[in-house]
Every structure is written in structure tokens, then in C-alpha cells.
Amino acid sequence: MQIVLFPGQGSQSKGMGAELFERYADWTSEADAVLGYSIRELCVDDPRNELGLTQFTQPALFIVNALMYRARLDDGGAKPDFVAGHSLGEYNALLAAGCFDFTTGVRLVKERGALMGRVSGGGMAAVIGLEPEKIQTVLFASDEGRRVDVANFNSFEQTVIAGPRPDLDAVKPALEAAGARMVIPLNVSAPFHSRYMREAQNEFDRFLQGFKFAAPAIPVISNVRARPYEGDMVRATLAEQIGNSVRWLDSMLYLLEQPDPTFEEVGPGQVLTKLLKQIQKRAKR
């Protein structure tokens, strides 16, 4: 089974996609028209230091992922049997599966990035070296912890939590006492993929009402459910994704159960490949 994975926010880097914008001038001009600025300038030169800002990161990464996948197909790559994407990368998985066209995808991620970028207050932290179940036990054990959500179940070794910053600080000693090697604050503007994003989720749900989505032509693994999308659930699932956990660990465990799975990351960097290696190492025990 050929499985393609698309990375999400955090994989962006200055210079990404440089060789693809001229190769695919049609999509580049379509993106510029939707965004109102030069996507090539943002990704390659980043003259205003905007690439790390959510409202710019999300369209930039979606577009570069999409160009890289188009190039992969044009260069003879086989159509995958499954696709999955981490958070923002899920939009690339849905594009690859034919649920919407490229221009629609740019419109979607532009709005998603703008809504998520407007949320302020709160933060996120990566918990390293402590199993997800133990992290949840620690969080449930205190008032501060119960105000913190698990945002990303990334691997057995890496979990991201989100919530008010004072509560994140308060739970750090308990997590370390339970065995976490590190609890690292992340440089983000808001507690993404948590209950604190529900207002943005509701706004995005209203925005999505103006779109029609096709059923996936290739199975797409949902971040929210860690199982393939149901054909008529694209709109609802995309809205839910903003305010709910990214179940990446369970998604990869599901895909590892498929016959002879072969994974390929399509996008800048190797973040998902590294997470997959962690998961595979532990799953084989």
C-alpha cells in the first residue's frame, strides 16, 4: 500500500517551493489572485518576516505541499492508496483525493489561517518522553490540568498540550514528576486544537456552508477520528478539526495495519517521517 503524508504548520521554511512556482505558473497565479499577494515572494524571500505567522503560514504550506504533490505525479509517481495530513496538511490530503480543486483549497486555508490567527491568549507545550495516557492522567488530577487539553497526539514519545499559559506552567512539574523528559513551550499565538478554538471552529463552519465537497476518491484519514473520511462528512469534519485533537498517533497505527504499507512524506522537511519512525519503533515491541 502506497501512503502519502502531508505535513502541517511547523514544517515551513524560507525558500520552500522555490523551484516549483515557475514550473506551475498557473497555480501560482491562481493563488496570488485569491491571496492578494505574491506567494512566491512570501515563500522564497519572506521580506516582511510573515512566513511564521499563522495567517500566512497556512496558505503558504498548503500551496507548496500541493505543488510538490503535483510535481510528484507529473514525474511519474503512482497515485497513493491512502493519504493523510497533519492538521493543515489534511487539506492537501483532501485535495489529492479530489474533494475540491486547488483554488478552492487556497480559499479554505486562507480563511482558516485568518480565523486561527485572530485567536489570542493561551499557548501550547510539547511533552516529550511520557505516554499520552499518562499525560491525560496527570491533567485530570488537578484543576489547572483539567483546563488543559491534549492538542496533538503525535507519537508515543511526543504529545502537545494546549490551554491558558498559567495552567500550562502549573502542570509542568507534575508532568515531569510522572516521567516527562521535557515540557517545552511552543512559539505559537494560541492554544490550537483545543476547546479554546471553538469560536473559530463555529465561524469556520459557517464559512464552509458556502462550499460543496466531493466524496474522497482516495481514502483520507481524518485527524479527528483517525479513520477514513465518510463521503458526506468533509464539511463537518473540517470544522471539527480546528477545536479537537489531532489524533496522528492513532492515524499512523491504523495505516501501519494496512497490507505492506509504504510511506512517503510530500512537503518541506521530514517532521512526519521522523514521527513515523518513533511510532514504528514502539509499535514493533
Which residues, listed in sequence order, are joined to residue 220 by a DSSP beta bridge? 83
Which residues, listed in sequence order, are joined to residue 33 by a DSSP beta bridge? none
CA–CA distances in Å: residue 77 to residues 3, 40, 56: 12, 25, 29
Backbone angles phi, psi at 124, to 5 degrees: -140, 155
Whose cell is 504533490? That residue is: 69
Backbone angles phi, psi at 231, to 5 degrees: -55, -35
C-alpha cell at 182: 521535557
Contacts of 135 (CB under 8 A, 6+ apart): 127, 150, 159, 161, 175, 178, 180
DSSP 229-273: PPTT-HHHHHHHHHTS-B-HHHHHHHHHTSSS-EEEE-SSSSHHH
Contact 259, 1 (CB under 8 A): yes
Active site residues: 87, 193
How many angstroms separate the most distant Cα atoms in the chain?
54
Q: How far apart are CA 2 and CA 181, in angstroms?
A: 34
Which regions of 74-201 does DSSP assign to beta strands (E)? Answer: 82-85, 123-128, 149-153, 158-163, 182-185
Q: How far apart are CA 138 and CA 261, in angstroms?
A: 34
Q: How far apart are CA 131 and CA 109, in angstroms?
A: 32
